[in-house]
Amino acid sequence: MPKPLMIPGKEGLGGELQYTLPTGRRLSLKLAVTEGDAPRIDRFGLRPLPPEVAAVTPEQLPAVIAERVKAESEAGRFSGAVLVARGDTLIYADAVGLADRKSGRANTLDTPINLGSINKMFTGIAIAQLQAAGKLDWQDTVGKHLPDFPNKKIRDQVTIHQLLTHTSGVGDYFNPTHDARRHELDTQQEFLDTFVDQPLAFEPGEGMAYSNGGPVILGLIIEALSGSDYYQYIRDHLYRPAGMAHADHYRRDDTTSGMALGYLKTEDGAWQDNSGDLSLRGSAAGGGYASARDLFAYSRALANERLLTRAQLETLWTPHQQTGPMAYGYLFTIGGTPDRRWVGHNGGAPGISAEFIHYPDDGLMIVVLANQDHAAEGLREWLHAQVEASLFETTEP
């Protein structure tokens, strides 16, 4: 059990508990209590704290990362791949754990691992490519490109800008209809059918709620404007130009790709693969696969403007919504500071978790892909802090 550190409140009417978990993750629980003879909890809040790291020299950094990854793997907390690079130079790259626990097949840097919502970035890039080609405008309504769209309110009032920024009010496809049809979902239209009749969460443009339904609609717009199905468009216009040799939206029943199975623990502590929790195939909102080396190639393709020009990418990286310490652009998360900005996305689903960070102005990139439940975020938090402390704080005057 992690031992908490108690920090009293300034006026004695509350305080803060700081927990350090076995993974090294740090959390703060703030409590405020009412005055009087019978005080009660008035409010509380939980937030992550920055990891505690000690800066090392750039030469020492690879060994420090290797030690941490090894420790997390041996403790059973991480299985997957980690890659850190600056420009074309790899700082650290290795894979640990098993891609298939039954056969004993190991993870490698070329093993495709489920990305979860990292795929949203790719949908954003595809929409920007079509915008750059003059085929759409950010403020176009859904109905301009999908005139037969079955939900009138979405068709007439929701814009592409709102779908890209999660401000459309469109909901999610993780619902009972999806659960009942999960193992047959194989197209954007089939995903749409699971949620298209749901009422909007709010009037378009009047709120923000993270949505997996919105990118599915964008995927249908990509199909309508390109004449290609979504999966083929992403192969032709993103994976191949970027050199992502092992990336694709593999079907759940694929046996030739070498993809990793995802794993989660059952109540009795056994590892169970996540095949029963997956759709037949992922959607434009997530569920595609890529390897750590694929995402390194993707980062270099962004830097070298092989997918979009820098000016076009900056449109995707312009903050539109603030979500705590980070902002959200066009299907990209934006973090850091104006002088040290990073962009990227994360992803998660039963049995998998994934993190991708790209520094547009520095060339630094960080990838953590896990084929294990909740395994990437904590390692990425530590890795992010350690890399920044060691590469920036020790080299700046």
pLDDT digits (tens, 9 = 90+) for 310-329: 999 999 999 999 887 889 99
Q: Do 355 and 377 meet the contact criterion of CB atoms below 8 Å apart?
A: yes
18 strand-pairing partners: 5, 28
Over residues 84-96, the pLDDT tens digits come to: 999 999 999 999 9
Q: Can you give 21-85 as a three-state secondary structure string?
A: CCCCCEEEEEEEECCCCCCCEEEEEEEEECCCCCCCCCCCHHHHHHHHHHHHHHCCCCCEEEEEE
| Cα–Cα distance, 113 to 71 (Å, whole number) | 21
Q: For residue 397, name the pLDDT band (cuts at 50, 70, 90).
A: very low
Over residues 166-210, the pLDDT tens digits come to: 999 999 988 888 888 888 999 999 999 999 999 999 999 999 999
| pLDDT score at 6 | 47
Q: What percent of the chain has pLDDT over 70?
A: 86
Q: For residue 269, name the pLDDT band (cuts at 50, 70, 90).
A: confident
Beta-sheet pairing, 113-114 with 105-106: unpaired
109: part of which helix (H) or strand (E)?
none
Q: Over range 53-60, report the average pLDDT.
A: 94
Over residues 124-168, the pLDDT tens digits come to: 999 999 999 999 999 999 999 999 999 999 999 999 999 999 999
- Torsions phi, psi for 20 (to 5 deg): -110, 115
CA atoms within 13 A on the CB side of 88: 1
Average confidence score pLDDT of the chain: 90
Over residues 21-49, the pLDDT tens digits come to: 665 566 656 666 666 666 666 665 655 66
| pLDDT score at 21 | 61
Q: Which DSSP symbol is given to 16? A: E
The pTM of this model reads: 0.88
Residue 351, amino acid: G
- Torsions phi, psi for 277 (to 5 deg): -95, -10
Alpha-helical segments (H) within the chain:
61-74, 119-132, 142-145, 152-157, 160-165, 176-181, 188-192, 213-226, 230-234, 240-242, 292-303, 310-316, 376-388
